[in-house]
Structures are given as structure tokens and as C-alpha cells.
A and B are shown apart, each in its own frame.
Chain A
Amino acid sequence: GESVGLHLPTLSVQEGDNSIINCAYSNSASDYFIWYKQESGKGPQFIIDIRSNMDKRQGQRVTVLLNKTVKHLSLQIAATQPGDSAVYFCAENAGKNSGGSNYKLTFGKGTLLTVNP
């Protein structure tokens, strides 16, 4: 079936450095992508999203890049802080049904980001 995968299962960076987390997706029909952050013992927290009609979107200290040609998604975190340490998931949405809902997220396996002080 369709799946979303991550290139790197773990990423370790120094505090203050920029982090880049990558994600490959396989469903060319996906039109909405989301990055989530999950800290230990908590549910995933929305970071940033992007629709397929865009190739870049910026938030506070985060940027998501979408390359539809190679089906690649990345999350860039500027000036990484210890509080950024968590598992990061990318998710794609390609679910459509007769009910009109287009919400059926497929998640990647996750990348563990560790920020060293």
C-alpha cells in the first residue's frame, strides 16, 4: 500500500545549529502534508502544514519544503533548541471518499531528534 517513510531514523545536532528532517512519500495523489512533533508521553503536536500547490511554507523557526517531482518533504528547524528534542513525523493526506472528507493521514515512522547542549 501507499506509505510515507523517513530517510533518517535518528538525528543528533548541537544547540543553535539548524536541523533538517527528511521524508519521502509515495502517493502522488497526496495533496496535503503535515509535520508533527511528539514528545515522550504526549500526543503529536502540529508544527506546520503545506498543500501541494505550494513548495515552501515558513513558520516560527520552521520551514517545510515540498518537492513533488521527487516526492520529498523536509522540515527545517532554525537555531535548534533542547526543547526541540522529540520524534518528528511527516504525514500525508490523500484520503477522499464520497462523504467529502479528505482526512485520512498516513504517517511516516518518525525521526528522533536529539539536541545536545
Chain B
Amino acid sequence: KAGVTQTPRYLIKTRGQQVTLSCSPISGHRSVSWYQQTPGQGLQFLFEYFSETQRNKGNFPGRFSGRQFSNSRSEMNVSTLELGDSALYLCASSLDGAGEQYFGPGTRLTVT
């Protein structure tokens, strides 16, 4: 069974630009969660989607948004990028959001 895949793996953007990251969950998994990982703040929850609906949201500004498609694939978007948005963005999938989560390798975003 293939694991969680994230694309792209690395990305360099300029302040003010926007970015879209993609996550393909494990086949059969309907819950997708997104996390931001930085050395200073550690792993922080962004949001969780289940059956195309956002069920939970962390404490991030509205510049961070996401969506989930009918095939459970998910995207997250960050608009008006700031230097502080440089981080590893991790996606995790689970069957229904209440059990074991499987993480992808992450997308390393650098904002210059």
C-alpha cells in the first residue's frame, strides 16, 4: 500500500507570493490533516479535512487555507507569503480522523 505523498518536496518562493501544496492520502483514508513544523514552534496543527469538509482548524491566520477533493486528495494554500512561513509542511492521513495518522515526507517551503 502506497504511503502519503506530498508534492512538491521543496519550494522556494518570494514574499508576497502565494503557494499551493498537495497531499495524496493513503488509499481508503478519508481524513487529511495539515501541520506546520518549524524549529521554533515545533509541530503545529493547521486544519483537518474529512469528506471534503473542514472539521477542525488551528490558530493560523486566514492566509492559510485548504480544501479536499472527492478522491480525498487535499491541497493547502498560503497567500501573501511572509518570511515566517518558511517551514516544513506536513500532511497526515487517517481512516476517519480518530485513529492512527500516517505522515507524508513533507514539503519544505522557503520564503525569501
Contact = CB atoms under 8 A, between A and B. Distances in A.
Q: Do A and B come from one complex?
A: yes
Interface of A: 1, 34, 36, 41-46, 49, 89, 91, 95, 97, 99-110
Given A42-B105, A89-B43, A99 B55 contact: yes
Q: Interface size for chain B: under 10, 10 to 19, 20 to 34, or 35 or more residues?
A: 20 to 34
Contacts, number: 71
B86 to A, nearest CB: 17
B2 interface: no
Contacts of A105: 33, 35, 43, 45, 101
Contacts of A107: 35, 42-45
B4 interface: yes
Given A44-B43, A44-B103, A110-B42, A101 B58 contact: no
Contacts of A42: 105-106
B12 interface: no
Given A89-B43, A101-B97, A43 B48 contact: no
B29 to A, nearest CB: 12
A103 B31 contact: yes
B45 A44 contact: no
Contacts of A103: 31, 33, 48, 55-56, 94, 97-98, 101
Contact of A46 (B50, B55, B100): B100
A43 B90 contact: yes
A89 B42 CA distance: 10
Interface in B59-107: 59, 90, 92, 94, 97-98, 100-106
A91 B92 CA distance: 14
- Interchain residue pairs A-B with the least CB separation, the first 4: A43-B103, A107-B43, A101-B55, A99-B55
15 contacts: A34-B101, A36-B103, A42-B105, A43-B4, A44-B43, A44-B92, A95-B45, A95-B56, A97-B55, A99-B55, A100-B55, A101-B97, A103-B94, A105-B33, A107-B42
Interface of B: 4, 31, 33, 35, 42-45, 48, 50, 53, 55-56, 58-59, 90, 92, 94, 97-98, 100-106
